Structure 1
């Protein structure tokens, strides 16, 4: 679809404000997870590119030199398409890497790794995600920019692609969460006969797991149900979401809570909660720790 350059700049500017607002809102927990570190890097990248695009657009009658290259308004459309392609390609790697980070946070032993070491690893992983994705877009993908044959001074609209990876990631995570809920729901139905002593232990574990899954789903939906409805309407709308706006801190915050719910359902938080609050990945929007800690204390 074609979008005017002022509308692109306005959208990017609004996205930058949203990015930094959510980064500041999550400042206490922002560097304690891979998604938090990546959110900060995304806010920085978006801000730098938005200022650069604005400089190219408002200097339409002149040239901007960068690293020996002469850039004009004509390059805004090219760079916006490259940015959208990079953000599209980042969706799955970020989701997978964040899921692994949350899994190791829940499954690890307390104080197994120092906080500084975890931060350095997450910082390196964030840089690696950006680097590998950019290389993929330029060297391995079939990306071909769509450019009109007009002079740089007459360009007022740019062709931009829609983002489809958000819908794919959301559907996959919904299916994963649904499978975890079904597994927890049917796990207690195997005990049809009066249980023996060994079966009592297995049955109590199954009930504990089911309760934890129900609790995780309830906490997640209690916080993010309005956003889920808004996201469904936005993704099903005929206009679609431009790719350069698809990757933002609001989506990453939602993805963070979603991945925490999936990991807690899959790993079984009842067996891990004895480690205390450190066993639950940080989340500034969902209160995971309080209910799970109470549940663990009641069972002990």
Structure 2
């Protein structure tokens, strides 16, 4: 964990301005702009008819915090040196604010993961049924509480405070915190996917070979043959696991490969970049698949209100459905929306 308070940040970059082709503050600005564009693209691509859940609210809050950070950086870069509410702001505050955000993002992975797990378990078991407006308020205040709690921890931890206070006038960079939480979370999910794939690789291979691409209801879809039995209740855990893997990897395979490379090479990515909306939706899909797996003994895909994923249509993957006028369709098939 490294962080550097840049009390003399503006001074040091003015001294080295002729030696650096791009100011670090400008580089931070460009990175945050790119991240916000990625947030907008991801939020625009997600399905709009998904049900309310904690992860959706947290993704929106993360996009808002990224936008707020960009506004602060833009204002400081434009005015360079100004006083607001008796506080003097200079270019070194860009480094300081981004470091605080990095620490905050870095400590959010476990709380968000655990809260999303609890949320899905409660929704699936239907132990609590709140009115729609009460549910929205509950998610809103839960997200606010998590942000305030983690930020208070970051600002109140003596070790982090000393790191932020440390001065190094000769440093040419503004180091940021690299989250160990995200590394172990990625390691945990990649290993589970690897073990699950090895366990039922023959079934996965069979399903992949049977997959075909067609158009259905103005959407490009993948489909594969469904078992001949008419029951909608999951009977074989191994076959069900293989279908979960196919559905998950059909959407998230590039992201899984990227996470595997990061874990194997131990790539250090600053926390303010690593905590992003695509990563959160990837975790969300993993949690939904895990929920289906652990509750497969009581999973009735026709009757139960299943959690809806913004990117993977899990329910359509396993409901038998016959597509009219589809060539060589002799059996009911399972639809998987791309």
TM-score by length of 1: 0.77
What are structure 1's unaligned runs of at least 5 residues? 186-204
User: Which residue of structure 2 lines up, in the alignment, with residue 193 of structure 1?
Assistant: none
**2:308 match:** 282
| Cα distance in 2, alignment partners of residues 261 and 74 from structure 1 | 44
Q: Could you list the per-position Cα deviations for residues 143-164 of structure 1 after superposition, in whole angstroms to 9, with x for gaps in the alignment?
A: 12265454xxx99741223233
Match of residue 187, structure 2, among 171, 190, 194: 171
Residue 53 of structure 1 corresponds to which residue in structure 2? 73
Shift of 1:221: 1.6
Relative to structure 1, the CA distance from residue 23 to residue 92 in structure 2 (aligned partners, 3 Å threshold; closer, same or farther) is same
In structure 2, the partner of 1:145 is 164
User: Which consecutive residues of structure 2, in runs of 5 or more, have no partner in the other structure?
Assistant: 5-22, 202-232, 322-331, 333-338
| Shift, 1:183, TM fit | 9.7
Distance across 2 between alignment mates of 1:231 and 1:84: 19
Report matched runs for 1:85-124 at 5 Å: 85-108=103-126, 112-124=129-141
The CA distance in 2 between the partners of 1:10 and 1:39, in whole Å, is: 21
d(CA) in 2 for partners of 1:231, 1:262: 18
Alignment of 1:1-300 (within 5 A): 4-26=24-46, 28-29=48-49, 32-60=52-80, 62-65=81-84, 67-108=85-126, 112-140=129-157, 142-143=159-160, 144-145=163-164, 147-150=166-169, 157-175=173-191, 207-237=235-265, 240-268=268-296, 270-276=298-304, 278-279=305-306, 281-294=307-320
TM-score by length of 2: 0.69
How big is the shift at 1:178? 6.7
| Residue 236 of structure 1, CA deviation | 4.5
Higher share of residues assigned helix: 1
What do you get for the CA RMSD once the two structures are aligned?
A: 3.2
Distance 1:177 1:223 in 2: 14
1:166, 1:266 → 2: CA distance?
A: 24
